[in-house]
Structure formats: C-alpha cells, structure tokens
Amino acid sequence: MPLSSTAPAPAGHRSVHPGMRTLLGVFAGLTALATGALYVLAENTDETFAWTIQPPLTAAFIGAGYAAGFVLVVLSLRDPVWAHSRVPVLTIFVFVVLTLLATLVHINRMHFDDDFGGLDPLAKGAAWFWLAVYVVVPVAMAVLLVHQERAPGDDPPPRHPVPGALRVPLALESAVLLVVGTLIYLDPAAAQRVWPWDMLPFTARVVAAWLIAFGLATALAAVAGDLRRLRSAAIAYTVFGVLVLLAVARYPGTLDWGGPEAWLFVAMAGAVGVTGAAGWRLATGPGHG
C-alpha cells in the first residue's frame, strides 16, 4: 500500500500543499526512528539516543507519543484534503515547537556535551541529529502552514458533528492533558506532585509537550470537531492510549501503586484509548469514510 494518496482533492477543496506533503513524509521517517529508539529500545537510550532517559518507562511514554505521531503523519499523507489534515499537523507543530524550546533550555543534557566524551559515537550523532531536526522542522512547518492556509480552495463543509456522548469525555480529557502538561512544562518539579513516577526536567518537558499537543487536538475535536476530519487524530489517539498501557505493563515497578497518581494515570490512559477507538469507529461509519 503506498504511503501517500495519489487521488486529488475534490474540486474546489484546498489540497495539501506539496511542500507540506514532503515535510510530512520526512517527519514520518523521523517518528518511526524515534519510536524504535524510545519505545522498543527504552532501556538503551544511553547508547542509542540523543540523551539518556531514565527510567525506561519515561522513554517508552515519549516513544508512544512518537508512534502516535507516525500514525498521524502517515494517515495525513493518504488524504489529499487539507481540512482533514489540519488538526494532525497542528498537533505535530505544537509538539515540535515545545520540544525545541525544551531542548534549548536543557541542551547541557544532550550527548554531545564534553561530559559525555566516553559515549558511543551513535549516541553523539543522535544528539546532533536531534538538534538539527528540532531547529529545522518547526521553522519549515511554520512557513508551510502559512502557505497551506493561503492555498486556493475552501474547506468542505462539516457534515458529521461529534456526538455529545463523545464530545463530553473529549473535553474532560483535553482539560486534564492541558492542565497537567502545562503545569509540568512550566515547572518540571511539579511532576513530583502530579505524575506517578520521577522524571528529570528535560524529559519531563518533552513528556509535557506530548500532553499539551494531544490536549490541544482533543480540545479542537470537542469544540469544533467533524468526524470525517478527526479520523486520523482518533486513530492516533487510540494508538497512544494503548501503547502507554502496554508500557506500564512492561515496567509496572516504576509506578508507585500505593498512591492515587498511578491509578489515575492508568485510568486516563485507558480513557484515551477508549474515546479514541469510539471516535475512530464513528468516523469510519456509513457516509463518514
């Protein structure tokens, strides 16, 4: 099955800009690499990633975000209509901008620093590659978003509003993701109060970047969502929730099960998976595909 769709957008509808399609293709490859390095090889970040992430569950959580991001961009590449890709692209844009800022603030934690002179060349190369990607991609995406919104054509009219039974849980999940993500991003030390395991400031901010990005996407779905336009985001949301739960099952000892934070975290991940799957099913129902 080809990665991108060759079918043009319907007449009069704004198509995905060729430059945006190229950037999404590049990002698909980058997110696939990050998924492997963080989710699959969560215990080896000191040798294979741009900085050392401990505990491994943190790496797996970030890797779950990248896996969901991979799904977002691949599905966006297969849809020629820009209105159907706007939310996924905005989700990615928010994440890359926040991650760039976190990288610049905590650049001393990267593996190219002199303190990491004894590391494998792969880890050092990954650090420089990470920095280059997160300097270039946000700028390129910002420029292309301007061109994309100015492209000729209109958005197709929304015809399949999100049902209230799904809109309410999406709004609640959005509030939790945005509040917790913003709190941790602004004050990583706050993670000790709201997160079920300890994280260092750099990784805490990258985790928070995914929370904020998905919280924004969920808010857009709850407030002004159209099922046809949200199909890609719903599938990625499902993937994120499921992979986070699998990561917890892989590293159960990392969480403090004696406190409420661990159980609330698992409940939230389960809710993300369930609401994502519900949106996915509704979006692929008769007349929505």
Which segments of the chain have a pLDDT < 50? 1-6, 116, 286-289
Q: Residue 270: its pLDDT value, please?
A: 97
Q: Residue 13: its pLDDT value, please?
A: 76
Query: CB-side exposure of 32: number of CA atoms within 13 Å?
Result: 8
Q: Residue 2: its pLDDT value, please?
A: 42
Q: Is residue 217 within 8 Å of 18, Cβ to Cβ?
A: no
Q: Residue 5: its pLDDT value, please?
A: 47
Q: Residue 35: its pLDDT value, please?
A: 96
166 Cβ contact partners less than 8 Å away, ≥ 6 residues apart = 275, 278, 279, 282
Q: Residue 7: its pLDDT value, please?
A: 55
Q: Residue 4: its pLDDT value, please?
A: 44
Q: Residue 113: its pLDDT value, please?
A: 58
Q: Residue 86: its pLDDT value, please?
A: 85
Tell me the three state secondary structure of residue 225. Answer: coil
User: What is the tens place of the pLDDT at every residue in 45-68?
Assistant: 988 899 999 999 999 999 999 999
Q: Residue 1: its pLDDT value, please?
A: 36
User: What is the tens place of the pLDDT at every residue in 176-211?
Assistant: 999 999 999 999 999 888 999 999 999 999 999 999
Q: Is residue 195 within 8 Å of 95, Cβ to Cβ?
A: no
Domain residue ranges of the chain, discontinuous segments joined by +: 18-153+161-283
Q: Please report the sign of the dihedral spanned by the C-alpha atoms of residue 215, residue 216, residue 221, residue 224.
A: positive
pTM here is: 0.89
Q: How far apart are the first and last CA of the chain?
A: 18
Q: Residue 163: its pLDDT value, please?
A: 83
